[in-house]
Amino acid sequence: MRTTWFAALVTLIFCIAAAGLGAEADVRRTVLLFGPRLGVTAVVVAPSDFNDQMQNEFPSSDKNYYPVFSQMGIEAQQLVPLGESSHSLAVHEMFLLGGLDQGMAIPSANLVVGFHSGWGVELGLGPYITVLAPGGSIRLAAGVVYMVEYTLPLKGFSLPIIFTMVPIPSYANPRLSLLTGFNFAGLE
């Protein structure tokens, strides 16, 4: 009788420990992702008006600037689980350098906070800042970035496809960007 009781107690302890281990494996943790970004930005403005604006910042009598230019940079992303669901709070920090294809160097940074669904679609918004240098004087232009992203999960990394819209009040011409790249999985 004592042996049966002892066996039942040991079996119960092992079952509780196994259930606890299974529960620990199911707990979602914050995921840190980072990776390069490459894309294109279009400024919604007439080409002649854009050229006039850029000539003030990057004077050059032998070239014309076009309102479509390249973007490259890096992004860090944190996905914080929302309860036991497959959805997450997403926080992005993105640093980009635009216009290198036209001999410009337009740095920008943004911080986006949003909702990342379990099926890979994300919506977010946050502050945007860029550095402008008209006539050699440096000034900052700020706005709000609106972001829609779809992340395609692949083995060992993920492929984000990002669309952003940035209306900059001082210019009244929104910037539309399409970016992609890949994410390395960071720490969990």
Tell me the sheet residues that pair with 81.
Answer: 88
Instruction: Say if residue 170 is exposed, middle or buried (CB neighbours under 10 Å; 0-12, 13-18, 19+).
Output: exposed
Give the CA distances from residue 5 to residues 44, 56, 179, in Å, rounded to whole numbers and listed in that order: 78, 87, 64
User: Given this model, what pLDDT does residue 18 score?
Assistant: 44
pLDDT at 40: 97
**CA 37, 137, 53: angle at the middle one, nearest 5?**
65
31-185 to CATH, choices 2.40.160.20, 3.40.47.10, 3.40.630.10, 3.40.1280.10: 2.40.160.20
Copy the structure tokens of residue 41. Answer: 């930005």
- Per-10-residue mean pLDDT of the chain, 188 residues long, equals 48 47 57 92 89 81 89 94 89 94 89 92 93 71 92 84 87 87 72
Secondary structure class of 74 (helix, strand, coil): strand
In degrees and rounded to multiples of 5, residue 16 shows phi and psi of: -65, -45
CB-count exposure of residue 23 (10 Å: 0-12, 13-18, 19+): exposed
The answer to whether the CB of 158 falls within 8 A of the CB of 182 is: yes
Model confidence, pTM: 0.78
pLDDT at 3: 46
